[in-house]
Structure 1
Amino acid sequence: MRQPSMGRLIGALSAGTLAAGLLVGCASKSQVPSIGYAVDAAITGYNGGTTLGASSGVPAVFSRVLTGFFYTGPDGQQVADTDVGTAKEVPGESQTIQYRLNPDGVYSDGVKTSCDDLVLTWSARSGRFTKPGDRGPVPQFDAASTAGYSDIERVECQPGSKDATVVFRPDRHYLPWRTLFVAGELMPAHVAARAANVPNVVSALQSGDPAGVQRLADFWNSGWNMAPGNLDQSRFPSSGPYRIESFSEKEGLVLVANEHWWGNKPLTGRIVVFGKSVDIAKKVSENAVGVIDIGADSVPDLKLDGFSAQTVAGRGAEQLILSTGGVFGPVQARRAFAQCAPRQDLFDKLGRVKDAPKTGVGSAPLNSRITQQDSLYYGASTGAAEKYRGGDVAAATAALKAAGTPNITVRVGYAKPDERRARTVAMLAEACKGAGITVIDAGAPDFTPAQLTDGKVDAVLASTASRPGPAGSLSAVAATSALRAGSGLDFGRFGNGRYDAITDQLAADDNSTTTLNLLTEAENLLWAEMPSIPLFATPRTIAFGGGMQNGIAGLTQAGTGWNMDRWVLKR
């Protein structure tokens, strides 16, 4: 992966992005052989295409372990990773993308990368394989989202080849195609083949062999899940500059240089990732951390002496994702919660960063779930939010009465520990009690957003796509997918056919007038149906230890570890 140009880095600095060691060297000091990276992502899986992987922290942890044709850059844009291969749109009656993997590409276990990996990823993410369920067919693959992949008609691939041609359906054109087959989501097909006892993945998936597809789905869904302890290393080969060496509660996730990596070698041979479940304040006090990327004010008693630190508004949308069943079955109940939620007060006390901009990301409470605050479309499309400024107990009381439930109890779940989100729940409880809404803190260390689907909580407090840590991108694919009917990320089980049609059209039409009209319609619909309540751009604290070089803050789903293979720490 090539480093951004110096001109671009200076531009990032002028835009308020924190960077470390860009201009000042540390020639008189020695390079540290291992760098600790503290990030509030939940390390629960290796496969970023599954519901669990996408809603935890795969993009923030494994983007330099599992590479793809593109990765999310520090500004939220999709960046081509030409070390992996090339992807280009070619002429044709239907939208056609030609993918060519690097001839030198090989996994850390010695198996070559191939188009088999693309066929597996497409098949798992397309929604084309289903099985009978209690209420009709259900997907065999637990995909976080089918966005883009469901529009693909076929992937032309000779098993073992480095070339693949992806052809979209004649009636579809997918503008954000660079979000497909990306870092953290392009999985090793040979591992799935071995574990599922399917000799030829491409043949099994192209022919639709029922038994083979089911075995592949069973493995794809959970075979790459992770828990601290002894990992079966044969299941977790790397296609990037780092590979997994170990994963434990005490030592964290240890990444080491991948000896089979064909691109520029990582500048530091060992990165230790400390995730959400680790006592970050303790690790910092032990001098075990060189880079920090966490939610602002989420870790109490965190002393950053010796760090260059800054708190900035991220691309993720801090929000309450609501159930559409249980106490929130009536839409009036969801509206009542939005009426009493003190959105302005929450922004002022918990969401506003120092030196907040007058306009753009982090300038005010967030009025959209799918449009960034610095988008040209933002202001013109979000007028429906005006009636939900928050703290309106009288309106909330009236809405609850209309719902026929004058008193409700709302359990708000989130991943602990998180001091800022605990304060958010406390402020919600205080603001809403006068309306007859009792808010309970249901945060837990083992919390997952699937608890909303299971009815164990009534709302999830998290960032875009229910992620506890780094989140968001310019493409907004995860944000829109999280509200699509049937999407794995739709934990609240919201379903609206018109919203789905709008997002389909947004992904295919780049006419500015059409886009504005569609976004306005979508926002009006979402504020009326209230599947979630946007609060503010999630504030992030990014810190680099003294002597750190090439550290560049990433305020997106990829986090600041997006270029960890370029990090150098000298002391």
Structure 2
Amino acid sequence: MRPRPGAVLRLLGVVGAGVLAVGSVVGCSGENQVSSIGYAIDVPITSYNGGSTAGVIGGASAVFGRVLTGFFYTGPDGQQVADTDAGTAKEVPGESQTIQYRLNPDGVYSDGVPTSCDDLVLAWAARSGRFAQAGAPMFDAANTAGYSEIERVECQPGSKDATVVFRPNQYFVPWRTLFAAGELVPAHVAARAANVANVVSALQTGDSGAVTRLAEFWNTGWTLGADADLSKFPSSGPYRIESFSAEDGVVLVANERWWGNKAETGRIVVFGKGADLKSKVDDKSVGVLDIGADSVRDLGTGGFSAKTVPGRGAEQLLLSNSGVFGSVAARRAFALCVPRQALFDELGKVDQAPTSGLGSGPLNSRTVQQDSLFYGPATGAADRYKTTDIPGATSGFASARVPAPTVRIGYLGPDDRRARTVAMIAEACKPAGVTVTDAGSADFTPSRLTEGSVDAVLGSTAVMPGPAGSLSGMTATSALRTDSGLNFGRFGNGRYDAITDQLAADDNSTVQLNLLTESENLLWSEMPSIPLFATPRTIGFADGLQNGVAGPSQGGSGWNMDRWVLKR
């Protein structure tokens, strides 16, 4: 989602104040610091590689933001924050847009190998979209936004310096989203696994054999599973991975080679979607809680300072562009029976909801923030789909020649709020002759939409199951681009692609408003997805937890986990 021009909503002072105030209380005398803190977050921890499709869906930026550092990270407001411990980045004069990157001279991975510009070259190559085989991308990148506009990365192998030069006459306004935390993976590990002597040379010259092997490893070599070889997962941040299991989570311990400020707590255990979060909270294994509101049934938050806030993610239904939704008429018809206002009132509205801005009503955009100055003027096309229109839905399905359709809605479970969302949609659409079935499961992945196993996916921005959304909005806009790794519904519209390119290249407010209005009209007409509300997040800090700061964005509340201190 896009920010309002020239402004950043201060989430900490607006919606996170209650959580922040208690989470930052100084411990009383006589209390002892706890040596290990549990962090419960509703993501399937599947990949270390935050630039891959699997890494984005698995919430890598929320889990590994302080393990794999980058030049910027997503802060608690959803904004990009410079991480000068990792290095510095600045625009410099040039005929084309040029960014000078300089890695910290002291930077070294936990396996003893120095960080280098090789890492930037690999990230650029993997995300550029320029390497293809039989017409298909070789790297399973989540998206190519920004990276595809880079003409070259100037790098001497092993150097701490890199110069990134964009294509002539191209400009990428949100360049701070590039080479960010969770996305700069260790090139030396990929080189060793792929038997490539010089990553930089191989990628700059397009050595087909070397690129093929690098892509194969980049796609799957950092998958986290029971048999994962953790020597391939070195850290460039204050924490490193000590162990992993789906049930017991990721055990992070202080990285002895970290060159910045030492982590305040030596051990963080991240419990993901595969863990029994309710029992972990009940037995006080959790010190920080960051999950979708009402997603865990009967979850007790006694002993926590907890608050539910509207997140930066856009709760939505992503629709297939084939099968029952193979026609625009059928997608519009389904949108007419989805009770967007009732869903917000029942499941999306937080206590003390604002009267305007983020979380103030049903979400009318997939890409424009509710607190943006552009939001109201650009989203008028949504008015037709605010409440149910059964006659319109019925006639719409009839004209699409899909009478009495069955719509299978999938999501990553268990998730009580999303199960209730599906149930409410089923009840509302029944009078239009629509049968809605709940296809949520504990092993659900959005790829089932592409495969045709479901007709719609329920999730947040880019159908992410956990923390999502940012002020830059690159993930939101990229998720509907033709051939994007996150475009699971396989929506394709050349004009939409052109609009997103223009939005990223021109920050003139008049141009932005005109483009956003055109984009919203196009999306409400083509209906590749149905936005519902700002995804509500319940964020809690255990009594005695210091320096906890709510982060209801794609970076999660673990964005500063190396500063956490728990005293009991």
2:229 match = 232
* Matched ranges for 1:521-536 at <5 A: 521-536=518-533
2:471 match = 474
- SS of 1:36's equivalent in the other structure is strand
Answer whether contact 1:316 1:464 (CA < 8 A) is retained.
Answer: yes
In 2, Cα distance between equivalents of 1:156 and 1:11? 38
Relative to structure 1, the CA distance from residue 543 to residue 386 in structure 2 (aligned partners, 3 Å threshold; closer, same or farther) is same
In 1, Cα distance between equivalents of 2:243 and 2:9? 33
Q: Deviations along 1:133-186, whole A, 9 cap, x unmatched?
A: xxxx11111111000000000000000000000000012100000000000111
Answer whether contact 1:231 1:246 (CA < 8 A) is retained.
Answer: no
Q: Deviations along 1:37-86, whole A, 9 cap, x unmatched?
A: 00001101000111111122101100000110000000010000000000
In 1, Cα distance between equivalents of 2:162 and 2:259? 21
- SS of 1:507's equivalent in the other structure is helix
Q: Residue type of the partner of 1:491?
A: F
Q: Residue type of the partner of 1:13?
A: G
In 1, Cα distance between equivalents of 2:566 and 2:271? 17
Deviation at 1:114, TM superposition (A): 0.1
Question: What 5-or-longer segments of structure 2 have no aligned partner?
Answer: 1-7
Q: Deviations along 1:311-357, whole A, 9 cap, x unmatched?
A: 01000000000000111001111101100000000000000000000
Deviation at 1:109, TM superposition (A): 0.3
Give the length in aligned residue pairs.
559
Q: Residue type of the partner of 2:224?
A: M
- SS of 2:152's equivalent in the other structure is strand
In 2, Cα distance between equivalents of 1:322 and 1:354? 30
Deviation at 1:22, TM superposition (A): 2.5
1:359 aligns with 2:356: yes
- Picking from 86, 100, 103, the partner of 1:101 is 103
- SS of 2:101's equivalent in the other structure is strand
- SS of 2:532's equivalent in the other structure is strand
1:13 match = 13
- Picking from 429, 442, 447, the partner of 1:432 is 429
In 1, Cα distance between equivalents of 2:425 and 2:411? 14
Q: Deviations along 1:260-311, whole A, 9 cap, x unmatched?
A: 1000000000000000111111111111000000000000111111111100
- SS of 2:200's equivalent in the other structure is helix
1:243 aligns with 2:245: no
1:85 match = 87
In 2, Cα distance between equivalents of 1:285 and 1:352? 26
* Matched ranges for 1:38-437 at <5 A: 38-132=40-134, 137-227=135-225, 229-437=226-434
1:547 aligns with 2:544: yes
Relative to structure 1, the CA distance from residue 402 to residue 9 in structure 2 (aligned partners, 3 Å threshold; closer, same or farther) is closer
- Picking from 449, 454, 468, the partner of 1:452 is 449
In 2, Cα distance between equivalents of 1:120 and 1:269? 31
2:5 match = none
Answer whether contact 1:49 1:125 (CA < 8 A) is retained.
Answer: yes
1:28 match = 30
Answer whether contact 1:327 1:333 (CA < 8 A) is retained.
Answer: yes
Question: What 5-or-longer segments of structure 1 have no aligned partner?
Answer: 1-7
Q: Residue type of the partner of 2:148?
A: S
In 2, Cα distance between equivalents of 1:216 and 1:231? 18
Answer whether contact 2:78 2:470 (CA < 8 A) is retained.
Answer: yes
Q: Residue type of the partner of 1:301?
A: D
Q: Residue type of the partner of 1:411?
A: R
Answer whether contact 1:338 1:390 (CA < 8 A) is retained.
Answer: no
Q: Residue type of the partner of 1:141?
A: F
- SS of 2:505's equivalent in the other structure is coil
- SS of 1:552's equivalent in the other structure is coil
Q: Deviations along 1:367-394, whole A, 9 cap, x unmatched?
A: 0000010001000100000011132111
Relative to structure 1, the CA distance from residue 390 to residue 10 in structure 2 (aligned partners, 3 Å threshold; closer, same or farther) is closer
In 1, Cα distance between equivalents of 2:424 and 2:248? 36
- SS of 1:294's equivalent in the other structure is strand
Deviation at 1:15, TM superposition (A): 4.6
Structure 1 ranges of 4+ moved more than 6 A: 8-11
In 1, Cα distance between equivalents of 2:9 and 2:384? 40
Q: Deviations along 1:417-455, whole A, 9 cap, x unmatched?
A: 100000000001111111121111000101111111111
Deviation at 1:557, TM superposition (A): 0.3
In 2, Cα distance between equivalents of 1:252 and 1:487? 30
1:4 match = none
In 2, Cα distance between equivalents of 1:543 and 1:396? 41
In 2, Cα distance between equivalents of 1:142 and 1:541? 32
Q: Deviations along 1:75-133, whole A, 9 cap, x unmatched?
A: 0100000000000000010000000000000000000000000000000000010111x
Answer whether contact 2:116 2:160 (CA < 8 A) is retained.
Answer: yes
Q: Residue type of the partner of 1:423?
A: R
Q: Residue type of the partner of 1:61?
A: V
- SS of 1:551's equivalent in the other structure is coil
- SS of 2:39's equivalent in the other structure is strand
In 1, Cα distance between equivalents of 2:58 and 2:424? 25
Q: Deviations along 1:454-483, whole A, 9 cap, x unmatched?
A: 111110000001110000000000000000
- SS of 1:406's equivalent in the other structure is coil
Normalised TM-score (structure 1) = 0.97
| Cα-Cα RMSD | 1.3
Deviation at 1:248, TM superposition (A): 1.6
In 2, Cα distance between equivalents of 1:394 and 1:530? 19
Answer whether contact 1:230 1:247 (CA < 8 A) is retained.
Answer: no
Deviation at 1:27, TM superposition (A): 3.2
1:561 match = 558
Deviation at 1:234, TM superposition (A): 1.3
Deviation at 1:256, TM superposition (A): 0.3
Answer whether contact 1:411 1:441 (CA < 8 A) is retained.
Answer: yes
- SS of 1:369's equivalent in the other structure is coil
Answer whether contact 2:126 2:215 (CA < 8 A) is retained.
Answer: yes
In 1, Cα distance between equivalents of 2:259 and 2:143? 31
Answer whether contact 2:247 2:274 (CA < 8 A) is retained.
Answer: no
